[in-house]
Amino acid sequence: MMSKIISFSILTLVVSIVLINYFSRVKANHPLAHLNVQEIIQEYGYLVEVHNVVTEDGYVLTLHRIPHGRDNLSRERKPILLLPGILQSAWDFVHRGPSYSIAFILSEKGYDVWLGNVRGTTWSRNHTTLDPDKDPVFWDYTIHEIGVYDLPAFIDYVLKKTQQKSIHYLGFSQGTIAFFMMGSEKSDYLSKIKFMAALSPAFYLKDPISPILKFLSKNWRSVQGLFNFFNYRELFGRGDLFSSVVKFICHDENSILINLCIHTHFSIFGYSYHELNKSRLPLTAANTPCGISLKQFMHGLQMWDSGDFRRYDYGTERNLEKYGQEQPPHYNVSRVTTPVAIYYSSNDWAVNIKNMDRVLETVPNVVRNYKVPLDDFNHLDFLYAEHVVDLLYKVVVDDLSKY
């Protein structure tokens, strides 16, 4: 039996290597697809700075900064930190250009824009002592560590560099989870945030509409066991089989595979034909997805399954060892007294609108409750929609200006 398992594992490894080699040869058919975050910001005519931030537990993270708009005026700038969703990076806030990307829009509105890249993603794949390619312990983190280590490190660094006492904050999806985790576990940081814009707040996730997310979350233990069997610690990293397949099916808008790309995208996040720009899919796929730890992915699936906002579930025995109780502790969202604006949509297949009542009841200082006025606006439309500026960003910018 053991020899069969070993033979199967070797065969799987060989097949994976062959497939990765094949898929990775395909290049995205878009003139800007070869650019990284720094280069694409410069391509659009903006000054960009790259800063390294070291967390309390030794992860070396990258902050991309757009200090001012293209006018280069010397007026005082208000610092704002943006944190993207799972499998995303600073790239997702800038690659659509000045007319559509929220980072550039805020820059032109007088903000000093800082773009966070959380641990394990393409631009933050480093550590003071651990090698992500050789040390499995590098990947031993959940979403919790992003909230209690990465986000506080970003905030402290921005405050020190700008010599301000507080900043604005905008989070999308996992970027909202991290904020509420930080607010629950390190509430002293809340005084450093003037205002929090929560795009698709993703901490109560019961009953995702997506059939893929529903299946994965209901079977997260089996999914975890499968990945553990093949010794996966990192998922969707640049160059691995999963991300290579994504890039392959999305690399060319004229490819016969582009419909597979579109329907895979929609089956996870919600169908939104009116807001999709097919020509930009190759550009998006060139740098997204950008890497995630297995435990981080499992933490998300656990929250979709339970519907509760709580720490990672290790199982009864290990929970008792780690937490002193059989079930993971819940995060106390009621501690988050920062002014918070909630932006959500009815066609979000990842964050079911049915959970919004619970969100609004739990967060104590909601100053804006805004439902995007378009029935088929999906989860990724918060960053990618063709009409996102008129439908959402004008409201967000107006709300930010009040604080």
pLDDT at 62: 98
Q: What is the mean pLDDT of the chain?
A: 92
| Cα–Cα nearest to 50, from 141, 147, 161 | 161
Q: Is the pLDDT of residue 280 over 90?
A: yes
Q: Is the pLDDT of residue 240 over 90?
A: no
Q: Bridge partners of 235?
A: 292
Of residues 200 and 287, more confidence is placed in 200
Q: Is the pLDDT of residue 1 over 50?
A: no
- Count of Cβ atoms closer than 10 Å to residue 109 Cβ: 16
pLDDT in tens, 121-147: 999 999 999 999 999 999 999 999 999
pLDDT at 46: 96
Q: Is the pLDDT of residue 382 over 70?
A: yes
Extract the runs of DSSP E, i.e. beta strands, from 247-374: 292-293, 340-344, 366-371
DSSP 193-257: EEEEEEES--S---S-S-HHHHHHHHTHHHHHHHHHHTT--EES-TTSHHHHHHHHHTS-TTSTT
Q: Is the pLDDT of residue 106 over 90?
A: yes
Of residues 73 and 167, more confidence is placed in 167
Mean of pLDDT values over 64-74: 85
Q: Is 379 known to be catalytic?
A: yes
- 173, 184, 210, 244: the catalytic one is 173
- 293, 379, 381, 399: the catalytic one is 379
Q: Confidence class of residue 73 from pLDDT cuts 50, 70 and 90?
A: low
Return the sign of the alpha-carbon dihedral for residues 365, 149, 125, 107.
positive
Mean of pLDDT values over 245-255: 91
Q: Is the pLDDT of residue 192 over 60?
A: yes
Cα 69 from Cα 112, distance rounded (Å): 9
pLDDT at 7: 44
Please give the helix or strand (H or E) that residue 18 lies within, else none: helix 2-23
Mean of pLDDT values over 358-386: 97
pLDDT at 243: 86
Eight-state DSSP code of residue 328? P
Q: Which two tokens stand for residue 241?
A: 């089989």
pLDDT in tens, 3-35: 443 443 344 333 433 444 444 455 667 889 899
pLDDT at 365: 96
| Cα–Cα nearest to 69, from 46, 88, 100 | 46
pLDDT at 238: 79
- Count of Cβ atoms closer than 10 Å to residue 178 Cβ: 28
pLDDT at 71: 80
- 252, 305, 348, 399: the catalytic one is 348
pTM (2 d.p.): 0.93
Q: Is 140 known to be catalytic?
A: no
Peptide bond just before 364 cis, omega within 30 deg: no
Q: Which domains does the chain have, with CATH numbers?
A: 35-401 (3.40.50.1820)
Mean pLDDT lowest among 2-11, 127-136, 214-223, 285-294: 2-11
Q: Is 173 known to be catalytic?
A: yes
Cα 356 from Cα 296, distance rounded (Å): 23
